[in-house]
Amino acid sequence: MVEKNSENEDSARWVLACELRRLREASGRSLAQLAEETNYDRTYLHRLETGERLSKLPVMEALDAVYGTGELLVRLWRLARLDAFKDRYREFMRYEAKATIIHKYSLIVPGLLQTEDFARLALSMGPTPMSRDDLEEHVAARMGRQELLRCNPSPSVRIILDESVLRRPVLDPLVWHDQLTKIAEAAARPTVTVQVLPFSAGVQRLAGSPLTLLWMADDSAVAYLEGNGSGELVEDPEEVQRYRLSYDRLRDAALSPDNSFALIEQLVEESRP
């Protein structure tokens, strides 16, 4: 069994690991048999059962199918992946998961639009070195956030990207081309709007402050401000309204969705390796 201690006894990740082990043993399967059925490495599956690794969504979907557990493991995984985020993000993540409207302004490629290779590169360049396992866990958690763009119904998403996001490539040309392609593909989704704030718009009130606004089904809203290694969740309605007005001004200064999409497609073509 997974070793239980005071640090993990209440974590969803520990519960998920225990349930993975329980389901396999109850089914009479060995790790080798499970690996053959799912096409996932035996050692990798073992590390999921010990809580050493956090999987990606397709792994949980495959295991739910093998065990006939509906979406049990997927639901546990959604809770467990929050453990990969620092405390200051967790409440924001809970709001994001149930938001019906998401508005973002970003100075970097936002996690919701990142490719796996770009996320891995971006996370590896952080100020705090990570082990390979920790890096892969953070990549899996970031990719898991993108599930909300594929759920039904999915939230209405508007993302304003500063033009610098699209003009400053990573050193790997293929990673960069794939990343721009993913942004273009996201912008083509019916529930996603991407706008570009051009250099010609000049300095704006929020120009140096990444911002996310989230609206819930009951019309309540929160704002989340990202700083250098810190984040602030704003729940006061009057403050949220002020940030909404600032965001609206940015939206008005940005290129139209059609012109933004045309620019992104142009950059996709120019970036072909």
Indicate the CATH number of 89-270 among 3.40.50, 3.30.870, 3.10.450, 3.30.300.
Answer: 3.30.870
Ranges of CATH 1.10.260.40 domains, the chain: 12-82
pTM: predicted TM-score of the whole model, two decimal places: 0.71
* Tens of pLDDT, residues 36-46: 999 998 888 99
- pLDDT value of position 37: 93
24-33, 129-138, 151-160 — which is least confidently predicted? 129-138
Fold observed for domain 12-82: 434 Repressor (Amino-terminal Domain) (1.10.260)
- pLDDT value of position 189: 94
Ranges of CATH 3.30.870 domains, the chain: 89-270
* Tens of pLDDT, residues 105-148: 999 999 999 999 999 999 998 777 888 888 888 898 888 888 88
SS (H, E, C) the chain: CCCCCCCCCCCHHHHHHHHHHHHHHHHCCCHHHHHHHHCCCHHHHHHHHCCCCCCCHHHHHHHHHHHCCCCHHHHHHHHHHHHHCCHHHHHHHHHHHHCCEEEEEECCCCHHHCCHHHHHHHHHCCCCCCCHHHHHHHHHHHHHHHHHHCCCCCCEEEEEEEHHHHHCCCCCHHHHHHHHHHHHHHHCCCCEEEEEECHHHCCCCCCCCCEEEEECCCCCEEEEEECCCCEEEECCHHHHHHHHHHHHHHHHHCCCHHHHHHHHHHHHHHCCC
- pLDDT value of position 2: 42
